[in-house]
Amino acid sequence: MNGEGSRVGELLRAAYGVDPALVALADEVIRELPWPRRSLNSVTATNLGRILSAARRLGLHESDLRDSTGYGYDDRARDLIDRFYAEAFQAERALVRQQMVSGTHALAAALFGCLRPGDELLAATGTPYDTLLPVIAGAPGSLQEFGVSYRALRSGEGGEIDPEAVAAAVSPATRVVLIQRSRGYDWRDSLSVAAIGRLIGAIKAARPNVICLVDNCYGEFVEDREPPAVGADLIAGSLIKNPGGGLLTTGGYIAGRAHLVELAAARLTAPGIGAKVGSSTGFSRLAAQGLFMAPGVVARSLEGMRFAAAYFGRLGFAVSPGPDDPRTDIIQAIRLETAEGMVAFCRGLQRASPVDADVVPEPAPTPGYGDRVVMAGGTFIQGSSIELSADGPLRPPFAIYLQGGLDFEHVVLACTVVAQELAEVGLVNLSELSRRPRWGRAGQ
């Protein structure tokens, strides 16, 4: 907002009642943050280069990306998209389908494809994301009902994962080890690809035949490698998160070792037809274009989340990761300490959204979640978390999880509106802004 700060401040004051001090602080944070220099060796360039190389090797043509209907037999576009994503994710094979309704659905297909009665599922990174728990146990048709047992290991204080301890916990019954890349709704660091590789290496050294499945949601293209490059047998995620580039309106993917992807395909559709069916009406072109755009979109989201860490740290909130910390997913955790603070945060973000800005977020029971959840999601695609959104369960430590952002300036402007909402409920003292430490209580 350099040079235009007063004009933007006037606009925000008129439209949202934002105090000029909050706009000035945003401008100050932008000027003080040491933004990384761009280079052809950057993460974005490396990922985009891999995607462009894959498109060239596949001979991808616009005429290939035509729709199919009905069963989708002999759908060339669908098969090309599968191969395109496989190369982007450094995997032998991929299954990319609009018929997957969410990342949870993709993970469920992978789990049901790999596990059999008497097998054990071991969650190596602690309790999985809330929506996956009913898939494992407690809901009709869960893995538990099919005779699959389950254990979750406790991570160390601060969320550290000890690879040797995980390897020692793998039993003869363990068939699948689930590794969650993102922090989910936990106040812990997300995992880097290198850390995932060390964990898988330790597991395979102890039990070579164990399947390592990575929940890859929120982490795609944040680093210059994907988990299959460091030994992951399978990964799964959602196309309305990072890999869809903000264009995909639905869908999910599974990628990894070819025979395991086929097992997942048999659960997604039916044994015997697997990946050979599934029409691609209105999907293939967007799937290809979204993947092409994804590295750049993820980079812009990371810039926005880095700003948010610095800005809310300056306002006095604990943030994780901090503005200068390495980032391994697109999520920014901010501790509000109270349920009222979480609701106010979401109220402000919703007001600054391009869609449904007049909706007032309220905590409510949500399918797949154990606690009431408050969400702000004024997105063009329902539930899209590569677009700017925030959510969190109303439970200690009352942290909100901010993610996405297709445009850096939108993240900045929205954060000032959120800060105004927090000031109005007494969680930000405008008179103390000038006395805040440089990054507030950033970090753990």
Which residue has 């900045």 as its token pair? Answer: 412
Instruction: Tell me if 376 sits within 8 A of 391, measured CB to CB.
Output: yes
Domain ranges of the chain: 5-32+297-435, 44-282
Q: What is the pLDDT of residues 156-179, one digit of tens each?
A: 656 689 999 999 999 999 999 999
Segment (H or E) for 237: strand 234-238
Beta-carbon contacts of 40 under 8 Å, excluding residues fewer than 6 positions away, are: none
Helices in 59-160 by DSSP H: which ranges?
76-88, 103-114, 133-136
- Tokens for 126, please give them: 């602690």
Over residues 242-267, mean pLDDT: 97
Task: Please state the pTM of the whole predicted model.
Answer: 0.93
Q: What is the pLDDT of residues 24-59, one digit of tens each?
A: 999 999 999 988 877 777 999 999 999 999 999 999
Over residues 382-409, mean pLDDT: 95
pLDDT-based confidence at residue 377 (cuts at 50, 70, 90)? confident
Q: What is the pLDDT of residues 175-190, one digit of tens each?
A: 999 999 999 888 889 9
Q: How far apart are CA 324 and CA 251, in angstroms?
A: 33
Instruction: Tell me if 240 sits within 8 A of 251, measured CB to CB.
Output: yes
Instruction: Tell me if 306 sits within 8 A of 299, measured CB to CB.
Output: no
Q: Please tell me the predicted confidence (pLDDT) of residue 443.
A: 47
Q: Lowest mean pLDDT of 84-93, 97-106, 312-321, 370-379, name the range.
A: 370-379
Q: Is the pLDDT of residue 370 over 90?
A: no
Q: Is the pLDDT of residue 444 over 90?
A: no
Spell 168-191 as b/e; 16+ CB within 10 A means b: ebbeeebbbbbbbbbbbbbbbbbb
Q: Please tell me the predicted confidence (pLDDT) of residue 318.
A: 96
Which residue has 């959602």 as its token pair? Answer: 238
pLDDT-based confidence at residue 228 (cuts at 50, 70, 90)? very high
Q: How far apart are CA 117 and CA 370, in angstroms?
A: 26
Q: How far apart are CA 29 and CA 347, in angstroms?
A: 23
> Which residue would you say has higher pLDDT here, 439 or 99?
99
- DSSP secondary structure of 224-249: SS-GGGGT-SEEEEETTSGGGTTT--
Mean pLDDT in the chain? 93
Q: Please tell me the predicted confidence (pLDDT) of residue 156.
A: 62
Q: How far apart, in Å, are the Cα atoms of 77 and each of 86, 255, 284?
A: 14, 17, 6
The CATH-assigned architecture of domain 5-32+297-435 is: Alpha-Beta Complex (3.90)
Q: What is the pLDDT of residues 274-288, one digit of tens each?
A: 999 999 888 999 999
Over residues 111-137, mean pLDDT: 95
- Tokens for 75, please give them: 């759908």
Q: Is the pLDDT of residue 154 over 50?
A: yes
Q: Is the pLDDT of residue 3 over 50?
A: no
Among residues of the chain, what percentage have pLDDT more than 70? 95
Tell me the CATH number for domain 44-282. 3.40.640.10
Domains 5-32+297-435 and 44-282 share a fold: no
Q: Please tell me the predicted confidence (pLDDT) of residue 344.
A: 98
Q: Is the pLDDT of residue 7 over 90?
A: no
- Tokens for 87, please give them: 């190369």
- DSSP secondary structure of 280-345: -TTTHHHHHHHHHHHHHHHHHHHHHHHHHHHHHHHTT--EES-TTS--SSSEEEEE-SSHHHHHHH
Q: Is the pLDDT of residue 126 over 70?
A: yes
Among residues of the chain, what percentage have pLDDT more than 90? 84
Q: Is the pLDDT of residue 1 over 80?
A: no
Q: How far apart, in Å, are the Cα atoms of 322 and each of 53, 305, 317, 319, 438?
A: 34, 10, 11, 6, 12
Q: Is the pLDDT of residue 20 over 90?
A: yes
